[in-house]
Structure 1
Amino acid sequence: MSAKIVVFGASGYTGRLAVSSLLARGEQPVLAGRSENSLRPLAEPHGLQYLTADVSEPATVRALVEPGDVLLSTVGPFNRYGYAAAAAAADAGAHYLDSTGEVDFVQRVQQEFTARAADSGTTMVPAFGYDYVPGTLAGALAAKAAGTPGGHLRIGYFALGSLRRGISGGTRATLAEALARPTSVYAGGSLRSRRMGSETYKFKVQNQARRAFLAMGTEVFFLPDSYPGLSSVEVYNGWFPGLSRVAGPLTRAAAALERLPGGRKAVAKFASMGGAPGGGPDEQERSRSGSYAVANLSDSRGYTVVEVHVQGPNVYTLTGELLAEAAVALRDGRAVSAGVQGPVGAFGLDGLTALCARAGLRVI
């Protein structure tokens, strides 16, 4: 029997996008999730198999995959609900990828499953969506183009068009989790903790200067492994330029609020305000915005050595496309390394560049 692609969380917002992208490629994924009533109407029109599984019963998640299969998980927030899928893939000897934007979850997957995945010859690629593939691609291309040791790499994420009503519930939940937590930067050969929003940086986006604030990103974990000459790696978010001016005080206040009784719920409620209905923006809303990332590599004096820009479709559309492309690549044996890997480690820079191009992400 040929290896199968299983989409766990198929009836959720990101899961539906990934399934749609797989179907557009002629694939027949297996749909999985908690509710048969939610899965059946998605599966039957396309003649797809569907299976029920619940993270509260890890054995049901483990039963979804066999050795050589691909488990694509969109079940989040991942710090609460994502562990069962990653553990199931590691136990089964299956490939794995997910849509998380939670960097501490990625670190947990790294710590717990790297050796097991390497021993079984499988590849696990967490956070393979808009968070954080575009920045990884741009950063890797910049590091390769520089061609010399050293360099301070700053990666900025931006949206083209309006995201005012175009942010999903999952993104807002991730924001709520992150507001009061420190983020990581790579500097001096190791990871260092910084307060989210404590610094800002101006990037050039379509010939205009746009400010972004220090944010979380898996680039700080994976790019130094692929390009050990990098002196530092930092990730910035510039979705809302006005927010960059107040990000520092906002995250400081969120951290203080979270320490109070009921503070965590208050932060989560604030982050959920104004989200897109139905779990996330529909196709029409997504068509109004695009994704953009910039990698700026400077020398020790602060002069730009290399700058790489990448542009793609809406952040959620791009995530669905990236997940579908990566799932097919893993299933077809196109990974270049086993273990828990970042995008470059998993597919190589040439392979990642080609994969991203097929997903609609192009280098400018």
Structure 2
Amino acid sequence: MSPTPDRAHDIVVYGASGFVGRLTAAYLAEHAPADARIALGGRSRERLEAVRATLGPAAASWPVVVADSADPEALAAMAADTRAVATTVGPYLRYGLPLVGACAAAGTHYADLTGEVLFMRKAIDAHHASAMESGARIVHTCGFDSIPSDLGVFLLAAAASDGDLGELTDATYVLKGSRGGVSGGTVDSLRGQLDEAKRDGASRRLLTDPYSLSPDRDAEPDLGPQRDPVGVVRDDALGGFLAPFAMGTINTRVVRRSNALSGYAYGSRLRYRELMLAGGLPLGPVKAAAIAGGIGALMAGLAIPPTRKVLDHLLPDPGEGPSEKNRERGFFAVDVHGTTSSGARLVCRIRAQGDPGYKATAVMLGESALALALDGDALPKTAGVLTPATAMGHVLVDRLRAAGQTYEVEQV
């Protein structure tokens, strides 16, 4: 580690008094190097100090940084005083852009947990150029959305290149199994995106565009319809019957941005989709239809005021999350399948213990922050509004493996 003398902190965990913010801070307190200079940020000194008191002796001397998301001067001061910010303060479309702007202007690296396409598009349009100029790496989706997707395809492409197998032509993410709770913050973000799309036709079109996060929409290849799956898919090579993966509408756009930012190094005509495995006969098609129908019903229910009121009483609120016991019992298992132009077939197997949206995500965000703050010389030489794969690549893969997560590619 090579500390920057004119910056007091290596990492500020912003939103540390929120549910996932506390988990991320706790992860860093246990796993960050002893000489890492970490601070807790948010709008309430009292709440931040209360969180710090729960983190054990490693965090006892961590400073507290008070900065409200609606106070541009405080955000600018915080960004200027640290090498990297890891933020869990959402919904990001409502609260996040000022912090992105402050980090881009200050040359401060940034990682978040957004799953909001509209927010990411606004951040790209407003701050990509200034982040490139300052050297800041602005990295969205540093949790279960979208690190497994992004790094999975990244590793498939790297293996294809290393093995002289040609470029990727098709890739499919398959969630084979998981156990975890529904995030109240994710639900609140979804509400915000639906409301914005309802108010604004351009936002509605952006949400349905498979290349909505691409750096140059006109440069994307014409591959025909690439709409996200909405019904049951049967693919025996992938395990039988499959349903749409609810977060695929976010992850697929992140992967396509990674491919474009890397000069289409994955494949100049790569087609990518995300699915959930339901299984074979006889129950597979029934389960897949139930999953697909449930996703459609949730989206429709949140879009209609009367049913939204009912769902608001049933779904978790922002800041709520599962018990420690349930977080520990959680897991996820993902296979990312790829086919190359030579006909070779590869699979990247990704596994992690812990609730995907909470414990496993805290590991991913924590290691992303450490990579951005401490591994500068080893990271890809790039800046701007990036993705996990383009900002951190193999450095983050190695960190997540060392943290106990599995990312392994094999030819099949």
For residues 186-225 of structure 1, the aligned pairs below 5 Å read 189=221, 197-201=229-233, 209=240, 211-213=242-244, 215-216=248-249, 217=251, 218-225=254-261
For residues 22-33 of structure 1, the aligned pairs below 5 Å read 22-24=28-30, 25=32, 26=34, 27-33=36-42
Find out whether 1:229 has 2:273 as its counterpart.
Answer: no
Deviation at 1:37, TM superposition (A): 2.5
Find out whether 1:19 has 2:59 as its counterpart.
Answer: no
Superimposed CA distance per residue, residues 81-121 of structure 1 (whole angstroms, 9 cap, x where no aligned partner): 11122111112221111111223322222222221111112
Find out whether 1:329 has 2:347 as its counterpart.
Answer: no
Aligned partner (choices 358, 361, 364) of residue 405 of structure 2: 361
Query: Larger Rg: 1 or 2?
Result: 2
2:221 is aligned with what amino acid?
G
Aligned partner (choices 204, 210, 216) of residue 185 of structure 1: 210
- Give the Cα–Cα distance (whole angstroms) in 1 for the partners of residues 366 and 303 of structure 2: 40
Give the secondary structure class of the aligned counterpart of 1:280.
coil
- Give the Cα–Cα distance (whole angstroms) in 1 for the partners of residues 234 and 399 of structure 2: 29
Give the secondary structure class of the aligned counterpart of 2:155.
helix
Identical columns (%): 27
Give the secondary structure class of the aligned counterpart of 1:287.
helix
Query: Would the aligned equivalents of 1:136 and 1:223 in 2 still touch at CA under 8 Å?
Result: no
Relative to structure 1, the CA distance from residue 183 to residue 193 in structure 2 (aligned partners, 3 Å threshold; closer, same or farther) is farther
Query: Would the aligned equivalents of 2:16 and 2:41 in 1 still touch at CA under 8 Å?
Result: yes
Residue in structure 2 matched with residue 7 of structure 1 by the alignment: 13
Deviation at 1:134, TM superposition (A): 0.9
- Give the Cα–Cα distance (whole angstroms) in 1 for the partners of residues 277 and 64 of structure 2: 36
Query: Would the aligned equivalents of 1:184 and 1:220 in 2 still touch at CA under 8 Å?
Result: no
Relative to structure 1, the CA distance from residue 177 to residue 237 in structure 2 (aligned partners, 3 Å threshold; closer, same or farther) is farther
1:328 is aligned with what amino acid?
L
304-313 vs 284-293, greater mean Cα deviation: 304-313
Aligned partner (choices 317, 323, 339) of residue 298 of structure 1: 339
Deviation at 1:197, TM superposition (A): 5.0
Deviation at 1:133, TM superposition (A): 0.6
Unpaired segments ≥5 residues, structure 1: none
Residue in structure 1 matched with residue 281 of structure 2 by the alignment: none
1:353 is aligned with what amino acid?
V
Query: Would the aligned equivalents of 1:65 and 1:89 in 2 still touch at CA under 8 Å?
Result: yes
Superimposed CA distance per residue, residues 138-173 of structure 1 (whole angstroms, 9 cap, x where no aligned partner): 11122233331351122234543x33xx22211332
Deviation at 1:326, TM superposition (A): 1.7
Residue in structure 1 matched with residue 61 of structure 2 by the alignment: 47
168-177 vs 271-280, greater mean Cα deviation: 271-280
1:222 is aligned with what amino acid?
S
Deviation at 1:239, TM superposition (A): 8.5
Deviation at 1:220, TM superposition (A): 2.5
Find out whether 1:352 has 2:352 as its counterpart.
Answer: no
Residue in structure 2 matched with residue 172 of structure 1 by the alignment: 187
Find out whether 1:105 has 2:147 as its counterpart.
Answer: no
Residue in structure 1 matched with residue 43 of structure 2 by the alignment: 34
Superimposed CA distance per residue, residues 165-215 of structure 1 (whole angstroms, 9 cap, x where no aligned partner): x2221133234456786444359626999765524446799x955623053
Relative to structure 1, the CA distance from residue 14 to residue 272 in structure 2 (aligned partners, 3 Å threshold; closer, same or farther) is farther
- Give the Cα–Cα distance (whole angstroms) in 2 for the partners of residues 313 and 78 of structure 1: 27
Q: How many residues align?
A: 355
TM-score (norm 2): 0.74
Question: Superposition RMSD on alpha carbons, in Å?
Answer: 3.5
Query: Would the aligned equivalents of 1:254 and 1:267 in 2 still touch at CA under 8 Å?
Result: no
Residue in structure 2 matched with residue 313 of structure 1 by the alignment: 353
Unpaired segments ≥5 residues, structure 2: 55-59, 198-203, 212-216, 279-283
Relative to structure 1, the CA distance from residue 16 to residue 254 in structure 2 (aligned partners, 3 Å threshold; closer, same or farther) is closer
- Give the Cα–Cα distance (whole angstroms) in 1 for the partners of residues 183 and 391 of structure 2: 28
